[in-house]
Amino acid sequence: MKRAIHFGTPDRIPVFLFSGNACDTDIVQVVLERWDAGESGRETEWGFLWQKSEQDTSSMGVPQEYLLKDWDNYENYVNNIAPDPYDKERFEAVRKIEKGDRYLMGSLYLSGFTVMSFLRRFELLMIDMYDMPERVEQLADIVFGFENEIIRQMPEYGFDGVSLFDDWGMQQSMMISPELWRKYFKKRYADQFALVHSLGMDVFFHTCGYVAPIIEDLIEAGVDILNLGQADINDMNMLKEKYNGRLCFCQPINYQTTGISGTKEEIYAEAREIKETFACKKGGLIAELFDYEEMGWQPENPRNTEYQIRAFEEIR
């Protein structure tokens, strides 16, 4: 793993099995935030409940209540509701893991802007970026501050890397302009990633959709492993030309299209394209795999889970 990330000529392409049999992955990931607690599995440590229909088996849902929809509740939220990064039970799961010589990654899972939108409400947060920048900064202080305090505790438990999941892209554009993203978030990411590096760990950053305008910024901020949910909509030729050999990518078969509805031949072809685009002789690629059924996704071909695993095995 470390040789793939830092271009140290690995013997093979390592594999990150996001869900499924933990014996079949080179990365052991432990989620360090409680997003599905309580008897109902709907409670979050941020203070809100998830709301979703009974038919929805594959998503977390949406917040039942946006706790900072009214800024008058800010002080109450900070003083009485906001989660404690030093909760004594946070790292309990780590003690039970037999990681062997595998890479141990501590995941904050949903992070940064995504969490901010769960507390404030997405559309209101968008307006705030223009009308109330000081409030955006206050909210970012809560979320990034909480994450950074968890990160500071991680070396004690032997973590090799930190994973953050913060979506910025839609199918053809970003959610906000690159300029606005740089204004509010680039420095916060840079400071957070510098903290991770100062503690001897790597930064794994996931973002979905079209994010091509900020990939260079993410490199400058300090991302070590970039996990693009849909690499193909960011222009594979551009990604190969500009970033091959400069940044390690953790890439799946597209789980919106090919992985769910593609044929065996299409899945194998996409795996080869991913290798050709991102891998070089010294490293630069981690193959991300999913057990679709375990995650509640229903591929049109029930063997697609098997095909994407085999496809990467054959090109490693």
Measured between alpha carbons, how far is 224 from 197 in angstroms, rounded to an integer? 10
Angle at 72 between CA 67 and CA 73, to 5 degrees: 35
Of the chain, the percentage scoring pLDDT greater than 90 comes to 82
Through-space distance between the first and last CA atoms of the chain, rounded to whole angstroms: 13
Mean pLDDT, the chain, whole residue set: 94
Q: Where are the alpha helices (DSSP H) in 27-111?
A: 74-76, 92-95
Residue in 29, 25, 28, 47 with CA at minimum distance from that of residue 38: 47
The stretch 38-61 carries a mean pLDDT of 85
234: Cβ–Cβ under 8 A, 6 or more apart, which residues? 210, 211, 212, 215, 228
pLDDT score of 23:
65
Q: What is the separation of C-alpha 14 from the centre of its chain, rounded to a whole number of angstroms?
A: 18
pLDDT score of 290:
87
Question: HSE (CB half, 13 Å, CA atoms) of 59?
Answer: 10
Is 166 in contact with 111 (CB distance < 8 Å)? yes
Residue in 63, 93, 94 with CA at minimum distance from that of residue 81: 63
Residue 20 reports pLDDT greater than 70? no
Judged on CB neighbours under 10 Å (0-12, 13-18, 19+), 254 is: buried
pLDDT score of 21:
62
Read off the pLDDT band of 173 (50, 70, 90): very high
Measured between alpha carbons, how far is 228 from 231 in angstroms, rounded to an integer? 5
| 112-136 tens-digit pLDDT | 999 999 999 999 999 999 999 999 9
Of the chain, the percentage scoring pLDDT greater than 70 comes to 98
| Domains of the chain: residue spans and CATH | 1-315 (3.20.20.210)
What are the distances in angstroms from CA 177 to CA 4, 94, 160?
A: 32, 39, 33
Residue 313 reports pLDDT greater than 70? yes
10 Å Cβ neighbour count for 139?
23
Which tokens sit at 81?
């509701």
pTM for this predicted structure: 0.95
pLDDT score of 140:
98
The stretch 63-84 carries a mean pLDDT of 96
The stretch 158-177 carries a mean pLDDT of 96
| 87-115 tens-digit pLDDT | 989 999 998 888 889 999 999 999 999 99
| 271-283 tens-digit pLDDT | 999 999 999 999 9
| 186-234 tens-digit pLDDT | 999 999 999 999 999 999 999 999 999 999 999 999 999 999 989 999 9
